[in-house]
Chain A
Amino acid sequence: MPHILLIDDDFNLLQMVKLMLERVGHQVEVAKEGEKGIVLAAQNQPDLAVIDVMMPGLSGYDVVRKLRDDPLTAGIPIIILTARSQPMDKQMALDAGANAFLSKPVTAQELIDRVDAVLKAGVGFRVHTGLLTEPVPERVTPADGVPSVSVPSPFGPGIVTPVPPPAAATPPASALPPSGPRSTRRPIGVEEAPAPAERTMPPSPSEASRRPIGATDNLPTMEAAMSRRASAAAPPGVPPAETPAGRKPIGAEVVRPAAASGVRLPVVTVISLRGGVGATTVAINLAFGLTGSTHRVGLLDLSPTSGHVALYLHLTPPQHWGLLLGQGDAPDTRTIQQMLLPHTSTGITVMAAPPMPTPETLSQPAAQHILRQITAVLNPVVVDARTLDTAVIGSLLLSTCVVVVTSDDPASVHSTGQLLAALQNQGIDMNRVRVVLNHPRPTFDLPADTIQKALKRPLAADLPYEPKQSVAIRKGVPLVLGMPDGSFATSIRQLARMVLG
C-alpha cells in the first residue's frame, strides 16, 4: 500500500484529495504547512508527496527544493498540485525538482492516474499530461548522494533572463522586479530589505526583440529550453536504480520505456506508405486534436517528397529541414529553432518539409537530434511520415505512439500489412503501434472486420468520410477546427485521447 504525503494549506482540498487517494487504497498522511510536511517526509519516508504551491510560509517550490536537498527525502517522487496553471508555473515546478504537475481543479481520475504513473516511474522520471514520461534532467536528479540544485534564475527557470551588457545603464528602481531568494516571500505589507546584488534588469529597448504586434514567436524561450534540455536528453536517461538514501523507488521493478529500449520522447509518428489514404490529413487534424490548454503541439513534416503540411495549413515556411541536410548528425540548435513556424491563432508550431523532392534525407541520429530539440519546447510533437527512410525510423524509435493510417481499399491494406511487418523488423515495439482506418472516399470497399482480420490487429479508430475535407484543405482550416462537432473531428479527438494514453 503506497504511502502518500499531502501538503496543502487548504483544509477542504486536503480532505478531498485524501479521500480520493484513500478510496483507491493509498495510505495518506496530511500536513497543512510546508515546514511540517518536510519534517513528516524525513520521518516517515513516504512513497510520494503531493504538494500545493500557494501556501503561507514556505511555498510549494521551497518545499520541493528542501526535499530534494535532503538526502533522506531526495528520492521521494513529487507531484505539484496547484491552481497556478500557467506554463511558467509548470516549468518552475519541474525545475524545482517535481516529477509531475497537476493544475486545480483536478478530477479524481486525473489525480489517481498521475499518482499511479509517478509511483511507477519513480523519482528519475517526469510524468506529463497524457502520462507521457521523460527522464528528469541530471541537474535535478539526486546523484552520488549529493543532490544537485540549479541556481534559480531571477526571472524564474522557465523564462529567459536576458543578460545585459556590462555597461548597460541601470533602469530606475521602479522598473526592477522584487528580488531576493524565493524563501524571502513575505506577507503583503511587510517591508523587505533591497538586495541590489541579486536584482536583474528587464531588457533595454534595444535588447527587446522587435516583432510585429500579435506575433506568437517564442523563440527566446525555445532557445533557452533547448539549451537546458539538449544535454540532458541526448544520452539515454536511465534513472539510478537506488536513490542516495538507498531507497528503491516504487515501481523500480516495472519495465520502464527508457530502460527497455531507449528514451522515448513525446512524439507521435503518423505513417502510411501508400499515398491517398489521408495520412497527412490525419496527422494535421491529430495535431490540432492534441492541442489543449497545457499542450504546445508541434508538427514535423518528414516527407522528403515535398510534404503538404504547410500547404494544408496555408503556411509559407521560409525554411525547412532540408536546409539541415549538410549539418551532419547534430544540426545546429539555433538553426532548428529558426525553422519552427508558428501557426497563428492556434499556437501549433510547424517544421516544414522541403518544398522540392530531395534525393537524400536526414540520418537517423540527425532526425532524433532534431526531435529532441523540438520536444524540449513542444509537447507532444506529431510527425507526418510517408516513407520508411532513416529519418522516419529515427522518429519511430523515439515515438511514444505510432499511428499507421490505412484505407479500405485492398492495396492500402496490403501496404499496411507490409509496413507493420517492416516496423517489427526495425525493432519498433508493436504495443505502441495503432492502426487507424481512414475513409478518404465516399465509397466503401473492404469492411473494417475484414481489414482487422487481414492485418491481425484491431483498429484503433475508424475515421468516417467527411465530404467537406477538401473544402477544409482549400481553406487551410483542418476539420477539427472548422467543424469541431463533426463526426470526423470527434473521431480524431478520441484518437488523440488514445494517443495520449
Chain B
Amino acid sequence: MQSQVQGQASIRKGFVAGEFLTRTYRISGEVELRGVPLLDQLNDLNAQFMTLERMYVSPLLDPAVLSGSAPIGEVRKDSMGVIILTQLKDGLPQREGRYMGRDHVDKNMLIVVSGLEVVGSLRVHPSVNVPNFVRTTPEMFIPVFNATATIATRREIVFKGGAILVNRNRIEVFCMVDS
C-alpha cells in the first residue's frame, strides 16, 4: 500500500474540468483528483457515483445555455455516455501502457454511444484486434483520442476534445473507420 501511494505521488493533483454528456444533458463540472486520474476514478467499479464540483447543466440540444447549477453534485457514472476532456493530459494516466499499448498506433473508429457519434482514434498496440478489445476490455470507460462527438439528431452540434472517454456500457454500435 505504501509503495502504491508513493507511486501515485507524481500523478497530477487538483481538479480536472470535464464535460459529462448523458442522453439529455451536458453537465460541466470539476472532479477532484485526489491523486487518482479521472479515468481510473471512472473505472473504479466500487463507486457508482462521482462527485462534481461547480456543476453547471445545459440541455444537450441547447448546449450553450446554462439551465441549472449546483456547487456540488453527484453523477452516476454508468449513466454517462461520454466525458469530454478538453486537453489530452486532463484526467488520463500519463504513463504509456495504461489504456494505450506501448508502440501504439492510432486506429480510427466510429462509436455511436447515447445518441452521439464519436469519431476518433483508439491507441493500441498494432497487434491488438480492436473490435475484440472494445468488446472484451474490463474497463467501463475507454479513451478515444482527437475525437469529436456529434449529436446524431442535431448534427450541427459538435463537441471536440483532446480525448473523449466513452462508456462501453452505453455503446450502441461501433466500427472501424479508414484512416
Interface on A for B, CB 8 Å cutoff? 10, 53-54, 56, 59, 61, 83-89, 91-92, 103-105, 154-160, 177-178, 182, 185-189, 202-203, 208-209, 211, 213-218, 220-221, 224, 293, 344-345, 347
A92→B64 contact, CB < 8 A: yes
| B19, B64, B119, B179: the one within 8 Å of A159 (CB) | B64
A-B pairs, 6 with minimum CB distance: A156-B64, A92-B64, A177-B59, A221-B156, A188-B68, A83-B17
Rounded to whole angstroms, the CA-CA distance of A255 and B71 in the bound complex is 45
Residues 154-173 of chain B: 1 if any A CB is under 8 Å from the residue's CB, otherwise 0?
Answer: 11111111100000000000
| A154, A156, A214: the one within 8 Å of B63 (CB) | A156
Q: Which of A86, A87, A89, A156: most chain B CB closer than 10 A?
A: A86
Rounded to whole angstroms, the CA-CA distance of A54 and B57 in the bound complex is 10
Given contacts A87-B158, A88-B63, A187-B68, A208 and B73 within 8 Å (CB-CB): no
B146 to chain A, nearest CB (A): 9
Q: Which residues of A contact B160 (CB under 8 A)?
A: 86-87, 293
A187→B70 contact, CB < 8 A: yes
Rounded to whole angstroms, the CA-CA distance of A345 and B118 in the bound complex is 11
Closest residue of chain B to A209 (Cβ to Cβ) is B155
Rounded to whole angstroms, the CA-CA distance of A83 and B20 in the bound complex is 13
Rounded to whole angstroms, the CA-CA distance of A189 and B74 in the bound complex is 13
Residues 61-73 of chain B: 1 if any A CB is under 8 Å from the residue's CB, otherwise 0?
Answer: 1111111111101
A493 to chain B, nearest CB (A): 16
A177→B86 contact, CB < 8 A: no
Within 8 Å of chain A (Cβ to Cβ): is B141?
no
Q: Which residues of B contact A187 (CB under 8 A)?
A: 68-70
7 A-B pairs with CB atoms under 8 Å apart are A86-B19, A185-B69, A188-B68, A214-B117, A214-B119, A215-B155, A345-B179
Within 8 A of A (CB), among B46-66: 54-57, 59, 61-66
Rounded to whole angstroms, the CA-CA distance of A92 and B73 in the bound complex is 25
| B28, B117, B159, B177: the one within 8 Å of A83 (CB) | B28
| A54, A87, A160, A221: the one within 8 Å of B28 (CB) | A54
Within 8 Å of chain A (Cβ to Cβ): is B140?
no
Q: Which residues of B contact A344 (CB under 8 A)?
A: 177
Rounded to whole angstroms, the CA-CA distance of A61 and B153 in the bound complex is 26
Rounded to whole angstroms, the CA-CA distance of A160 and B155 in the bound complex is 10
B67→A185 contact, CB < 8 A: yes
Q: Which residues of B contact A185 (CB under 8 A)?
A: 66-69
B112→A213 contact, CB < 8 A: yes
Q: Which of B30, B59, B63, B110: most chain A CB closer than 10 A?
A: B63
Closest residue of chain B to A215 (Cβ to Cβ) is B155
A460 to chain B, nearest CB (A): 28
Q: Which residues of A contact B158 (CB under 8 A)?
A: 86-87, 218
B59→A345 contact, CB < 8 A: no
Rounded to whole angstroms, the CA-CA distance of A159 and B64 in the bound complex is 9
Within 8 Å of chain A (Cβ to Cβ): is B108?
yes
Given contacts A84-B28, A86-B159, A104 and B62 within 8 Å (CB-CB): no
Interface on B for A, CB 8 Å cutoff? 17, 19, 28, 30, 54-57, 59, 61-71, 73, 84, 86-87, 108, 110, 112, 117, 119, 148, 150, 153-162, 177, 179
A178→B54 contact, CB < 8 A: no
Rounded to whole angstroms, the CA-CA distance of A160 and B19 in the bound complex is 22
Q: Which residues of B contact A214 (CB under 8 A)?
A: 110, 117, 119, 177
Given contacts A188-B57, A293-B160, A202 and B154 within 8 Å (CB-CB): yes
Q: Which residues of A contact B148 (CB under 8 A)?
A: 216, 347
Rounded to whole angstroms, the CA-CA distance of A158 and B56 in the bound complex is 19
| B155, B162, B177: the one within 8 Å of A218 (CB) | B155
Rounded to whole angstroms, the CA-CA distance of A202 and B154 in the bound complex is 8
B54→A10 contact, CB < 8 A: yes
Q: Which of B59, B67, B73, B110: most chain A CB closer than 10 A?
A: B67
B176 to chain A, nearest CB (A): 11
| B17, B19, B62: the one within 8 Å of A177 (CB) | B62
Rounded to whole angstroms, the CA-CA distance of A221 and B61 in the bound complex is 14
Rounded to whole angstroms, the CA-CA distance of A241 and B159 in the bound complex is 38
A88→B119 contact, CB < 8 A: no
Q: Which residues of B contact A88 (CB under 8 A)?
A: 63-64, 157
Q: Which residues of B contact A53 (CB under 8 A)?
A: 66
Given contacts A92-B64, A345-B177, A56 and B161 within 8 Å (CB-CB): no
Q: Which residues of A contact B19 (CB under 8 A)?
A: 84, 86
A213→B64 contact, CB < 8 A: no
B65→A182 contact, CB < 8 A: yes
Q: Which residues of A contact B156 (CB under 8 A)?
A: 159-160, 218, 220-221, 224
Rounded to whole angstroms, the CA-CA distance of A91 and B157 in the bound complex is 12
| 7 new A-B contacts at CB < 8 Å, known A54-B56, A159-B62, A345-B108 | A83-B28, A86-B19, A156-B62, A188-B69, A220-B155, A220-B156, A345-B177
Q: Which residues of A contact B87 (CB under 8 A)?
A: 105
Closest residue of chain A to B67 (Cβ to Cβ) is A178
A88 to chain B, nearest CB (A): 4
Closest residue of chain B to A56 (Cβ to Cβ) is B69
Q: Which residues of B contact A56 (CB under 8 A)?
A: 69, 71
Rounded to whole angstroms, the CA-CA distance of A140 and B62 in the bound complex is 22
Q: Which residues of B contact A61 (CB under 8 A)?
A: 66
A293→B119 contact, CB < 8 A: no
A202→B69 contact, CB < 8 A: no
